[in-house]
Amino acid sequence: MSGGMITAPQPEAVEAGGDVLRAGGNAVDAAVACALVQTAVDPLMCGIAGFGSMHIFMPSKGVHTCLDFHGRAPASVRPDMWEDFIVGEAEDGFGFILEGHVNEIGYQSITTPMSLRAYDTGLNKYGTRVIGELIEPAIDYCESGFLVRPHMSAFWNEAPQSGRITHRNFLTQFPATRKIYTKSDGAIYGVGELLKNPDMGRTYRRIAEHGAEDFYCGTLANDIVADMAANGGLITADDLANVAATERAPLWGSYRGFKVATNNPPGGGIMLLEMLNILENFDLAGMGHNSPDYIATVSEAMKIATVDKDTKVGDPAFVDVPVGELTSKSYAGEMAVRIRRGEKTHVPRLDLSAQESRDTTHISVADGNGNCVAMTHSIGMPSGVVSDGLGFMYNGCMGVFDPRPGRAGSLAPGKARFTAMCPTMLFKGGDPFFVVGAPGGTYITMGVLQAILNAVDFGMNAQEAVAAPRFCTTSDTIDVTNRILRRTEAALVDMGYLVRRSPLGYHFAGVHALRHTEAGWDGGADPGRDGMALAV
């Protein structure tokens, strides 16, 4: 296996990771360098105070593992603290709408900041570089600035969804955030304008000098805790000191002769394997790509997995998740029988007024020695909070917990919320074939699923697999992109489905993938984002 390749939604970050590969670093080094630049140049999609999942395959060392770094509820939360605040639930299950948006924006929306610890852990265990070296490109983008890209601007200015906080509020509600993201006239920076964040640059310089530990137990930690205490935040010094990534073996499955490795709950890999198992019972290629029968069949698998996620999947430290059942071929066979007899699964929701937020990013990278990393990381829905002088935005992950006690996703001290993140690798024999992941809230598993089907069932290369028109069914409505044929939509309506057309041609996750064949690696970057694939 010769040569390497990296793909991600930000060209600046891809180039930084590619430079590391070119200089002899391995896939873990490149992934962390890429991630750190992402935190600087896409700061509402990810950050050092975020969360994620890093899937690592290093055959030369006999390593295949997942570093899960899911944000956890602070120790001070109570299961019933928001029970009386419920207004509704997002249509696709990505969180709840509460009075005052207390779970969406502000200091109480923040879970424990995990990402910096995970980057450092990954490097210390499996990398060849140190974080002080790899953070240098990110520092330069903070201090010298970067050009606001189209996807960033579109997200920052996206019209508010019914019941949700407007995205502009994430940038303007708090003074320390406003001074970074708005100009002297109060306008948000636009496409092509240079945005600098010297406060983040100073924070990153301190991390480079003193290490990640300073963020969790040192001077930076003291600054964070003081700001939380002054503004009614839930994060304490003990919450920071206890932050640690969790290392586990991947969750395994199979699909049409390929071995599939993905992450464990509370990640979305369990949903992905469940859907693949169900769809293995159907001749998808014979139906035709994105035909009415194909979309209906895949949509039913999506709905079944969504209902199972909503009712049965949570943090396994708190919830008895039936992993064996949900990922079994026998259960999938039973679900396939339901689909064949025409049964339409209903997805219960409290309210159908709001849709999800897509504040996440992804990296897929392979080096010349056969090592591969797929890492999805995020700040969830941004909290809008920046501690004055520190520059980085905190995650807003409390918004996805279920405010109703006694449920799989309910609040509990130290509990991780469900995330659809599913950095995944497919293997042909013992060799990697497809390395894939995506940002996109609850759309993530659905986008990754379709990329895998495109590569395996329809023989597409990586770019074709991530660029083909997608659909998403996480409620009783089939959402389709604007490139799905209208005659197909009409046929689905005739079959009794509710169908909603997006004005976007590229939508429902931002999938980034690598594919390996006898000719080497090819890469795919979702055209709906601003990124690229780079061969090294």
My answer on whether omega of the bond before 432 falls inside 30° of 0, hence cis, is no
Annotate 145-201 with DSSP letters as a single string: -EEPPHHHHHHHTPPPPTTSPPHHHHHHSSHHHHHHHB-TTSPBP-TT-EE--HHHH
**What is the pLDDT confidence band of residue 159, given thresholds at 50, 70 and 90?**
low
> Can you tell me the distance from the alpha carbon of 356 to that of 174, in angstroms, rounded to the nearest whole number?
23
- In this predicted model, which residue has the larger pLDDT, 63 or 349? 63
> Can you tell me the distance from the alpha carbon of 97 to that of 420, in angstroms, rounded to the nearest whole number?
19
- Cβ–Cβ < 8 Å for 377, 113: no
**What is the pLDDT confidence band of residue 160, given thresholds at 50, 70 and 90?**
low
pLDDT at 164: 65
Averaged pLDDT, 17-27: 98
3-state secondary structure of 62: coil
3-state secondary structure of 534: strand
Q: What is the dihedral of CA 111, 446, 87, 382, to 10 degrees?
A: 40
Task: Report the run of H or E that residue 426 belongs to, with start and end.
Answer: strand 424-428
Active-site position among 360, 376, 424, 445: 360
Domain ranges in the chain? 5-146+195-247+360-400, 264-354+422-528
Model confidence, pTM: 0.95
- Cβ–Cβ < 8 Å for 7, 525: yes
- Cβ–Cβ < 8 Å for 295, 490: no
Averaged pLDDT, 125-140: 98
pLDDT at 524 > cutoff 90: yes
Which pair of structure tokens corresponds to residue 370? 């056969």
For the four alpha carbons of 515, 520, 526 and 530, in that order, the dihedral sign comes to positive
Q: How many CB atoms lie within 10 A of CB 238?
A: 11
Averaged pLDDT, 243-272: 98
The tens digit of pLDDT for each residue in 450-474 reads: 999 999 999 999 999 999 999 999 9
The tens digit of pLDDT for each residue in 216-240 reads: 999 999 999 999 999 999 999 999 9
Which pair of structure tokens corresponds to residue 31? 């992934």
- Cβ–Cβ < 8 Å for 71, 51: yes
Sort strands 477-480 and 498-501 into parallel, antiparallel or unpaired: parallel
**Residues in Cβ contact with 287 at an 8 Å cutoff, skipping those fewer than 6 apart:** 293, 294, 297
**What is the pLDDT confidence band of residue 354, given thresholds at 50, 70 and 90?**
very low
- Cβ–Cβ < 8 Å for 215, 392: no
> Can you tell me the distance from the alpha carbon of 368 to that of 27, in angstroms, rounded to the nearest whole number?
9
pLDDT at 353: 45
The tens digit of pLDDT for each residue in 402-437 reads: 899 999 889 999 999 899 999 999 999 999 999 999
Interhelix angle 443-456/292-312, rounded to 10 degrees, is 140
The tens digit of pLDDT for each residue in 33-82 reads: 999 999 999 999 999 999 999 999 999 899 999 999 999 999 999 999 99
**What is the pLDDT confidence band of residue 356, given thresholds at 50, 70 and 90?**
very low
Nearest CA to 404 among 108, 165, 88, 76? 88
User: Any bridge partners for residue 6, and if so which?
Assistant: 365, 534
**What is the pLDDT confidence band of residue 2, given thresholds at 50, 70 and 90?**
low
Averaged pLDDT, 379-398: 94
pLDDT at 101: 85
My answer on whether omega of the bond before 423 falls inside 30° of 0, hence cis, is no
The mean predicted confidence, pLDDT, of the chain is: 94
- Annotated catalytic residue 360: yes
Q: What is the CA radius of gyration of the chain?
A: 21
CATH class of 264-354+422-528: mainly alpha
Nearest CA to 39 among 394, 533, 507? 394
3-state secondary structure of 363: strand
Which pair of structure tokens corresponds to residue 502? 């997006």
